Structure 1
Amino acid sequence: MTEHQKKAMIISVGGTTEPIVASICACGPEFISFLASQESCAKIPECLRDAKEKSGRLASFEQTLVDDVNDLVHCYGKAEEAVQRVLAKGYPGSEVMVDYTGGTKNMTAALTLAAVSHGFSFSYVGGRERTKEGLGIVKDGSEEVRRSLNPWDIMGIEARRDIALLFNQFQFTAAQERIAGLKGKNVRFPSRYEKLGFMVEGFQLWDLFRHSEAQQRFSRARLEELAELDDIFFRQPALATLKLLPFLQKLTEDKKKNPISLCLLDLYANAERRFQEGKIDDAVLRLYRVVEMAAQARLVTAWSIDTSNVDRTRIPETVRAEYIKRYAAPDGQIKISQAAAFRLLEALGDELGRTFSQHEQKFKNIQKARNDSYLAHGFQSIGQNAFQSLREFVLTLKLFDPADLPVFPRFDVAFSGTKETVGPGPGACNVATGAIVCCGW
């Protein structure tokens, strides 16, 4: 099957057969869904016979009849039936050609409206010569099939906007579904969208702390190839993602050892994304975990102390007896809480422990709001003020430089007014398309 041949066609039928025969011969379908009026349906057998004589092929067909060609709404309903006949047989959009040459204006308008969202290709039979000094119908023998106009290239702009908006809202699953929905539609460069889908899935997995799997998806996205494209919709997010990969790589390696600074950065950035989604309870819980992780990480990295099994010889004498009495299990193992971890840091003379102690009352107030939340122990919803207070408290601890946070790419939907030619050849049209620019937030 050549580039211009399709397995199925949807054809509106008018009073002449030559344009339809030319279109069928050029496309070579195995199945045709005809949209005809009560008057023009008699032309269908003639079209099929003449097409077989010229091409040597005979397509199977079904027909949908329009009762009132002057009623656009009625025509649209019948056009949808004609479209469904093709879809019911399992033909994807990329294998369907719609020829809207024949029929009344209402029929052709209705067929175009009914078919345009399915990713079909469209063709129109024009001609080198027309009757009535160029204003009439195409003269027999001068038919030219023009199939270069693909409306999905125009409608694809809306798909891009949807993908961008969903991604910006961290609705990664929905964005993936929108990209997957393009499969089977006659989009140009489908492999680019496939790679974009892997990239979006990579961020979804990253957002779920599944960092190793995220790396694998980014690898499958072939970001270097996307980054070399002229199309800014693909290039900009790919470039931004490539800049994040070293962080992700090091995060994955460090996480296997112990929770240090990169884990804190990643968890804090995740909390910020939940806050932007409006999921304040989730955001607060993540920041709370940042505080807890900070104490655990500092004790491990600076003092070789594991909070789940504290070596009593490493506890300062000033608090050793108290810690053994309060936290030692019957088997002698010492496991300490978050508050006890910070007190231990203070006793060790660690700056983080001293800073926490200076602002401990503020943290306790926030802790109460967290404990009263639905996701902890209570029945209250956490307000924005609690998140902002906890955020300020975390930054007060100076656990990291906020400039080092891993920032997910963000699509900025902005119309550039760029002119782009849709489809090659005589049927091409120029449209002003919206460029979707990617930047950081």
Structure 2
Amino acid sequence: MIQPTPKAILISVGGSPKPVVVSLNQQRPEYICFFVSEATKDSTEKEILPNLDFQPRHWDWIITPNAEGLSECYREITDRLPSILQKWGINNDELVVDYTGGTKTMSVAITLATVEVSTGYAYVGGVERSKDGVGVVLNGKEKMCFFENPWNEIAFMSRKEASILFNKGRYAAASAIFDKIEGKVNINHKPFIKIMKKMSDGYNLWDQFKHNEARNILYSCRDIIKTYSIGDKKVDNLVTVLIQNIDFLDKLKGNDELKHYDLIANAMRRAELENKYDDAVARLYRVIEAIAHYRLQSAYQINSTNVKDVQIPESIRNDYITKYKDNRENRIKLGMFASYLLLEKLNDHLGNSFFTVYEKEIRGLLAIRNSSILAHGFDSVRPETYERLLNIILSFSETKKEDLPQFPVLEI
């Protein structure tokens, strides 16, 4: 229920000023904005203001050029109301809209134009009407009716829209919608919407590889969201995934092996949520390289950006020095192919697995990647290229899909 003593009122005025006077005298706002037509504006100064039993701090009016034109009424309100509220220093949660007077068109327009900026609505009804109860309210029998802004119900559909965007990998867009909803729903709904926005921001940071920032935000969301999971299976499922994700981010810090898991998952989101196959394949190329670099470091203490001569088998040492030594920095740096070749020469299982499928599968796929717009060409990557490369990487690196971090699916 809205407060019956709002700070500001936008009220429509029709041919009968009495209900408007009743409404204002009961609500006693500090600021009044009258929505009038050319035919009713005179009654504002002659019949309404003189009959108020209080003195408003300020009043103004919005005059519609056509009381029967929905578009004209709507446009006039949306054009004029923001500047009036700004002049008075009125926030959205301090405005009540009263659609008692005016034409039916004016009542519809004043409601449509303010559904995103008012805290609620008011209307003068009555306990007795003329014409056996179907006419106008009898003088002295007026009754104030107050209604919350229907944004609490409208927000349900907006929450669905935000959830769809989140589930499509558009985390920043989902956050923006949650932010918009939060500013309009009543105070009871605000905490949940606010935490959904914050969570969306956290996953947006993670999606940009800003893992530490993402972890801090998601960790701060965990316990708050958990309080909403009691009796709500969908939120409970969200909490389960959120806890798993936070655990993954905790383990990711300082664990280079998990970085390629995160990168594969990111590539899958680009492809399977956004249909961005060029972006996905670019990430998968980096995955192939990262897996080799990690194996060199973890198994042989070989830093791929600074390989020592003695770490290279004699059979390929001179060739590697000639091809891969950066004379300016005086160190050997290895890219993807050279890293796997070194692993093969070290008789490493990963290197052997890579070359088992390289000529038959990987080489052709990498040629397609190299001709893509995000590499060295102007061609687009097809879905089947992404799928083949993903499956090959999972196979030769012995990575299981179920071990990859999975972002939650929102169902709120």
**TM-score under structure 1 length normalisation:** 0.82
Partner of 1:273 in structure 2?
269
Partner of 1:34 in structure 2?
34
Range that drifts further, 149-158 or 176-185? 176-185
Partner of 1:421 in structure 2?
none
1:282 aligned to 2:279? yes
1:365 aligned to 2:357? no
Mapped contact 2:307–2:332 kept (Cα < 8 A):
yes
Cα distance, 1:352 vs structure 2 = 0.6
Alpha carbons of structure 1 residues 47 and 398: separation in structure 2 relative to 1, 3 Å: same
Alpha carbons of structure 1 residues 41 and 356: separation in structure 2 relative to 1, 3 Å: same
Task: Say which SS state the counterpart of residue 406 (structure 1) adopts.
Answer: coil
- Specify the code of the residue in structure 2 equivalent to 1:64: I
Alpha carbons of structure 1 residues 337 and 108: separation in structure 2 relative to 1, 3 Å: closer
Partner of 1:426 in structure 2?
none
Cα distance, 1:80 vs structure 2 = 3.9
Cα distance, 1:251 vs structure 2 = 1.0
1:386 aligned to 2:385? yes
Task: Say which SS state the counterpart of residue 331 (structure 2) adopts.
Answer: coil
Alpha carbons of structure 1 residues 28 and 300: separation in structure 2 relative to 1, 3 Å: farther
Task: Say which SS state the counterpart of residue 123 (structure 2) adopts.
Answer: strand
Partner of 1:302 in structure 2?
299
- Specify the code of the residue in structure 1 equivalent to 2:298: T
Mapped contact 2:94–2:118 kept (Cα < 8 A):
no
- Specify the code of the residue in structure 1 equivalent to 2:372: S
Partner of 1:434 in structure 2?
none
Partner of 1:420 in structure 2?
none
Partner of 1:250 in structure 2?
251
Mapped contact 2:202–2:213 kept (Cα < 8 A):
yes
Partner of 1:407 in structure 2?
406
Structure 1 unmatched runs, 5+: 412-436
C-alpha deviations, 1:307-327, integer Å up to 9, x for none?
112233333444445434543
Partner of 2:226 in structure 1?
227
1:181 aligned to 2:177? no
1:93 aligned to 2:92? yes
C-alpha deviations, 1:331-360, integer Å up to 9, x for none?
763322221211221222211111001111
Partner of 2:49 in structure 1?
48
Structure 2 unmatched runs, 5+: none
Q: How many residues align?
A: 403
- Specify the code of the residue in structure 2 equivalent to 1:287: L
Alpha carbons of structure 1 residues 146 and 346: separation in structure 2 relative to 1, 3 Å: same
- Specify the code of the residue in structure 1 equivalent to 2:332: I
Cα distance, 1:10 vs structure 2 = 1.0
Task: Say which SS state the counterpart of residue 167 (structure 1) adopts.
Answer: helix
Mapped contact 2:119–2:148 kept (Cα < 8 A):
no
C-alpha deviations, 1:262-316, integer Å up to 9, x for none?
1111000000111121221111110000000000011111221111122333334
C-alpha deviations, 1:357-393, integer Å up to 9, x for none?
1111121111211212222122222222321221122
Range that drifts further, 99-108 or 201-210? 99-108
Distance 1:245 1:405 in 2: 13
Mapped contact 2:219–2:246 kept (Cα < 8 A):
no
1:132-171 alignment runs, 5 A limit: 132-171=131-170
Task: Say which SS state the counterpart of residue 91 (structure 1) adopts.
Answer: coil
- Specify the code of the residue in structure 2 equivalent to 1:203: Y
Cα distance, 1:11 vs structure 2 = 0.4
Distance 2:330 2:151 in 1: 70
Cα distance, 1:91 vs structure 2 = 3.2
Partner of 1:103 in structure 2?
102
Cα distance, 1:183 vs structure 2 = 4.9
Mapped contact 2:32–2:56 kept (Cα < 8 A):
no
- Identity among equivalent pairs (%): 34
1:337-376 alignment runs, 5 A limit: 337-361=335-359, 362-376=361-375
Cα distance, 1:215 vs structure 2 = 1.6
- Specify the code of the residue in structure 1 equivalent to 2:391: E
Mapped contact 2:7–2:31 kept (Cα < 8 A):
yes
Range that drifts further, 92-101 or 185-194? 185-194
Alpha carbons of structure 1 residues 232 and 133: separation in structure 2 relative to 1, 3 Å: farther
- Specify the code of the residue in structure 1 equivalent to 2:8: A
Distance 1:111 1:388 in 2: 53
C-alpha deviations, 1:369-428, integer Å up to 9, x for none?
1212222122222222321221122022134221011111223xxxxxxxxxxxxxxxxx
1:214 aligned to 2:214? yes
Cα distance, 1:78 vs structure 2 = 4.1
Mapped contact 1:22–1:143 kept (Cα < 8 A):
yes
C-alpha deviations, 1:239-262, integer Å up to 9, x for none?
4323311011111342xxxx21x1
Cα distance, 1:84 vs structure 2 = 4.2
Alpha carbons of structure 1 residues 252 and 140: separation in structure 2 relative to 1, 3 Å: farther
Cα distance, 1:210 vs structure 2 = 0.3
Partner of 1:334 in structure 2?
332
Distance 1:207 1:153 in 2: 30
Task: Say which SS state the counterpart of residue 147 (structure 1) adopts.
Answer: strand
Mapped contact 1:15–1:102 kept (Cα < 8 A):
yes
Distance 2:192 2:4 in 1: 22
- Specify the code of the residue in structure 2 equivalent to 1:252: K
Distance 1:339 1:305 in 2: 15
Mapped contact 1:94–1:186 kept (Cα < 8 A):
no
Task: Say which SS state the counterpart of residue 381 (structure 1) adopts.
Answer: coil
Mapped contact 2:10–2:96 kept (Cα < 8 A):
yes
Range that drifts further, 115-124 or 210-219? 115-124
Cα distance, 1:12 vs structure 2 = 0.8
Partner of 2:259 in structure 1?
263
Task: Say which SS state the counterpart of residue 409 (structure 1) adopts.
Answer: coil
1:312 aligned to 2:309? yes
Distance 1:231 1:37 in 2: 50
Distance 1:218 1:283 in 2: 25
